[in-house]
C-alpha cells in the first residue's frame, strides 16, 4: 500500500486554552483535529491527576492534527503565541498516511 508523508502536531495544554488553540488551527486552515482529555501525567512539577479537580482550570487536553509540512511553521507560530507562557508542550513528528486527500 502506498503511503504519503505528512506532519503530526500534538499540543498538550490546560483545558481553558482549548478554544484559542482551535482558532489557531482554523486560521491555519487545518482540515481536521482531535481533542482528548488527559486524566493524569507527570512533568517538571511531578505527578498530577485530574481526579480531585473542580472545574476545568487544572485539567489538561491533547489536541492532535495532521497536515502538510508546508503549513507547520505557520501553525506552530500561531499556537506558540497562545501557549508560550502556559503549562504544556508542543511536538511535531513525521507520519505516513494512506489517504492524503483528507489532510
Each residue of 49-78: pLDDT tens digit?
Answer: 777 665 556 689 999 999 999 999 999 999
Torsion-angle region of 43 (φ positive above 0: left; ψ -120 to 50: alpha; else: beta): beta
DSSP readout, 12-40? EEEGGGHHHHHHHHHHTT----EEEEE-E
Q: Which residues of the chain have pLDDT under 70?
A: 52-58
The count of other CB atoms within 10 Å of the CB of residue 16 is 14
Among 15, 22, 4, 9, residue whose Cα is nearest residue 72: 9
Show the domain range for 64: 4-102
The count of structural domains within the chain is 1
Stated pTM of the model: 0.87
Amino acid at each position: 500500500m502506498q503511503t504519503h508523508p505528512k506532519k503530526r502536531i500534538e499540543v498538550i495544554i490546560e483545558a481553558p486554552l482549548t478554544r484559542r488553540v482551535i482558532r489557531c488551527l482554523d486560521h491555519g486552515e487545518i482540515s481536521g483535529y482531535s481533542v482528548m482529555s488527559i486524566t493524569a501525567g507527570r512533568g517538571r512539577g511531578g505527578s498530577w491527576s485530574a481526579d480531585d479537580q473542580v472545574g476545568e482550570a487544572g485539567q489538561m487536553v491533547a489536541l492532535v492534527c495532521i497536515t502538510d509540512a508546508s503549513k507547520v511553521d505557520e501553525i506552530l507560530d500561531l499556537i506558540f503565541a497562545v501557549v508560550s507562557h502556559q503549562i504544556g508542550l508542543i511536538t511535531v513528528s513525521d507520519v505516513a498516511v494512506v489517504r492524503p486527500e483528507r489532510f
